[in-house]
Copies of this chain bind each other. A is one copy, B any other.
Amino acid sequence: MVHPFLRKLRHGARLTKDNEDILGRLVQSTRLVGAREDVVPFGGAPRYLPLVVDGWACRYITLENGRRQIVSLFLPGDLCEPFGVLPRFMDHAIAALTPVVIAQIRPEAIRAAANASPRIDEALWWDLLVTSAIDREHLVSLGRRTATERLGHLFCELHLRLTMIGLVDEDEPSYDMPVTQADLGDLLGLSMVHINRSLQELRRSGMISLRDRRLSIRDLDGLRELSFFDDGYLHPFGALSLLNSSDVSDVGRTSR
């Protein structure tokens, strides 16, 4: 049972056994948070960096009129704030979407780990870059994709992110999607009703099936095309060039 944090960071740098020991020690102190509870409330000054060990969480912002927007989705292995610093004031909140196990990391410790090894440093910066890229694609979805495109794009992204941490059943790819349609609405900037209708459209067209919080992708290529999904932003094979980690052969990618 490899820790999801390690599973993910392995995609960002070639970690040695030693590196993984150091990283593993960072995530030992954990606590449980119930579904729909805040992991870190709005406005506070957190004392630890939260990292999701198990379950799904999110970052959200609530407007004064009650409208809520989920800004980021956190899966197992995801660090909820940039490593290395603690915000002095939370301009957003972190909440559990399902019951979650949260590891609490001290920023001094994670910085020390980065300083201890260039590969850890590389992995952590890679993670920061990928996290930013995910948020950017999310923003593009809200700005320029239709409802079904947003859903399709999300499902493709989750397929990749969950694959990275070994949570996808690969023949007829399927994975658990333990969130309500209301949550999906808040995530994708749509109403719950419209999410429901768009999901049905995706089902009718044979792209997906979704029952009992389990998503099966029936036509991955179709879904990718429909939603303009290009996996380049997830940098599946490393993204940094500060270090010369040589062995990065070229990866076939859309070039425009």
Contacts and interface: CB of A to CB of B under 8 A. Distances in A.
Contact of A107 (B71, B91, B139, B242): B242
A189 B132 CA distance: 19
A63 B175 CA distance: 27
Contacts of A92: 133, 136, 233
A68 B91 CA distance: 28
Given A42-B256, A63-B228, A128-B82, A88 B241 contact: yes
A206 interface: no
A45 B256 contact: no
Q: Which of A67, A84, A89 has the most CB of B within 10 A?
A: A89
Given A85-B242, A87-B240, A228 B69 contact: no
A140 B85 contact: no
A242 B108 CA distance: 8
Nearest to A138: B139
A82 B88 CA distance: 19
A64 B86 CA distance: 38
Interface string A85-100: 1111101100000000
Interface in A211-241: 228, 230, 232-233, 235, 238-241
A253 B43 contact: yes
A188 B139 CA distance: 10
A63 B63 CA distance: 29
A167 interface: no
A1 interface: no
A247 to B, nearest CB: 13
A189 B143 contact: yes
Q: Which of A64, A71, A255 has the most CB of B within 10 A?
A: A71
Contacts of A128: 82, 85
A246 interface: no
A251 B45 CA distance: 13
Contact of A241 (B45, B62, B69, B233): B45
16 contacts: A43-B253, A43-B255, A43-B256, A59-B136, A62-B256, A64-B230, A65-B228, A69-B144, A71-B139, A82-B129, A87-B239, A87-B240, A88-B235, A91-B233, A107-B242, A135-B139
Interface of A: 42-43, 45, 59, 61-65, 67-69, 71, 82, 84-89, 91-92, 107-108, 125, 128-129, 132-133, 135-140, 142-145, 188-189, 228, 230, 232-233, 235, 238-242, 248, 251, 253-256
